Amino acid sequence: MKNIFNIGVIGLGNIGSYFCNLLISKKKEIELKTGKIINLKFVSAKSSKKKRKFKYKKKQWVNNPLDITKDPSIDIVVELVGGADGLAKKIVLSSLINKKHVITANKALIAKHGNFLSSVAEINKVNLEFEASVAGGIPIIRNLKEGLISNKINKVIGILNGTSNYILTKMEKSEKSFKDVLKEAQVSGYAESNPRSDLNGSDVSDKIKILSSLCFKSLISKNKILTNGIENIEIKDILIAKKLGFRIKLLGISQILNGKIFERVHPCLVKIESFIGNINGVFNAIIINGKPVGESVMQGEGAGAGPTSSSLISDLYSILRGNIKHSFIIPFKKRKFIKVFNSNNYIYSCYMRFEVKDKPGVLSSITKNLAHHKISIKSLIQNPNKKNNTASIVIISHKTFEKNVLRFLKSIKKNKNIIKNPTFIRVDNFNDN
Mean pLDDT throughout 115-130?
97
pLDDT of residue 224: 87
Superfamily designation of domain 4-129: NAD(P)-binding Rossmann-like Domain (3.40.50.720)
* 0.85 surpassed by pTM: yes
Provide the terminal-to-terminal Cα distance of the chain, rounded to the nearest Å: 48
How is the beta sheet containing 37-44 ordered, strand by strand?
Answer: 37-44, 4-10, 76-79, 101-104, 128-129
Mean pLDDT throughout 67-79?
98
CA distance 17 to 381: 52
SS3 (DSSP) at 104: strand
Please confirm, yes or no, whether 207 is among the known catalytic residues: yes
Mean pLDDT throughout 398-425?
95
Tell me how far apart the 2 most distant CA atoms of the chain are, in Å.
Answer: 82
CA nearest to 128, candidates 101, 152, 97: 101
CA distance 215 to 156: 8
pLDDT of residue 432: 56
Can you name the CATH fold of 140-300+328-339?
A: Dihydrodipicolinate Reductase; domain 2 (3.30.360)
Q: What is the CATH number of domain 344-427?
A: 3.30.70.260
Question: Residue 383 forms beta bridges with which residues?
Answer: 392
Residue 430's pLDDT band (cuts 50, 70, 90): low
Mean pLDDT throughout 263-282?
95
- From residue 119, give the alpha-carbon distance in Å to each of 96, 142, 233, 368: 10, 19, 41, 55
Per residue in 379-406, pLDDT (tens digit) is 999 988 888 899 999 999 999 999 999 9
Residue 1 has pLDDT above 70, yes or no: no
Residue 433 has pLDDT above 60, yes or no: no
Domain boundaries, the chain: 4-129, 140-300+328-339, 344-427
Query: Of 207, 209, 217, 249, which residue is the catalytic one?
Result: 207
CA distance 192 to 376: 41
CA distance 103 to 90: 14
Mean pLDDT throughout 251-262?
95
Is residue 169 within 8 Å of residue 317, measured between CB atoms?
no
Question: Residue 69 forms beta bridges with which residues?
Answer: none
Kindly give, in sequence order, each residue whose CB lies less than 8 Å from that of residue 2, ignoring residues fewer than 6 positions away. 36, 75
Residue type, 360: P
Residue 423's pLDDT band (cuts 50, 70, 90): very high
